[in-house]
Amino acid sequence: MVEREEANREATIAKPRRKRRSTQEIVDRIVDAASSEFGENGYAQTTTAAIARRADVAEALIFNHFGNKANLFRKAVFKPLDDHFSNFIATHAHFDDSDRAGESRAFVSDLVTFVRQRSGIFKSLVVNEAFASDEGSGALRGLQDYFDKMSAIEEARMVEPQKVPPRLISRLSFAAILGYILCEEWLIPDAMASDEEVHEAMCDFIMEGLSINPERHPRPARG
């Protein structure tokens, strides 16, 4: 009896105590797990219980932080998209006007890669918007904030009227990328081109579309 108690005491002492997680870490774990679950299984087939298991958190924390599955779905789609945009802007803060085409192509290339890597959850977004009940619908409206951010940066740098305004260019460019990613398995056989060739062709296509506007000039610096 004494030996058993001693063994239990030693096991308790030896068992490592889990480090206390911050609120932000918990939220990030839930969003990451939700992105994977929604991307793999779609909105309707994903449960908050499965997300909680994947995130290694109590299911109640999902409702504490997000309210319901629909809110979490929107966050899982748009938080990574917003983070991607913010990170790109931060790492390309100089936006050298002498190489605007290079900057634009870098962004397009980065965005194509990002959407391809997260194609599952974007497919879930489109399918749910088209066919699901009202519970998870309306998430596509979250793209408007993203487009507005893209447009605002371009509009702030322009002084001349454009043939096609940035707010429309940003949406058409994203639509082309998203449509390509969603349909590439149906439309582009493996033997037609390598992933790298298709990627470059997509970037060329978007850049050609951007060239519909004339050469643009930055706003003059204020004295």
CA 26 to chain centre: 19
Residue 221 is predicted with a pLDDT of: 45
pLDDT in tens, 110-146: 999 999 999 999 888 888 877 765 555 556 667 788 8
Token pair of 109 as six digits: 């290339």
Nearest residue to 69 via CA among 134, 16, 158: 134
31 vs 96 pLDDT, higher one: 31
pLDDT in tens, 167-186: 888 888 899 998 888 888 88
| pTM of this structure | 0.74
CA–CA distances in Å: residue 145 to residues 5, 123, 142, 185, 214:
61, 20, 6, 29, 26
Q: How far apart are CA 157 and CA 103, in angstroms?
A: 13
Domains defined along the chain, listed by start: 2-210 (1.10.357.10)
- What is the band of 8 on the pLDDT scale with cuts at 50, 70, 90? low
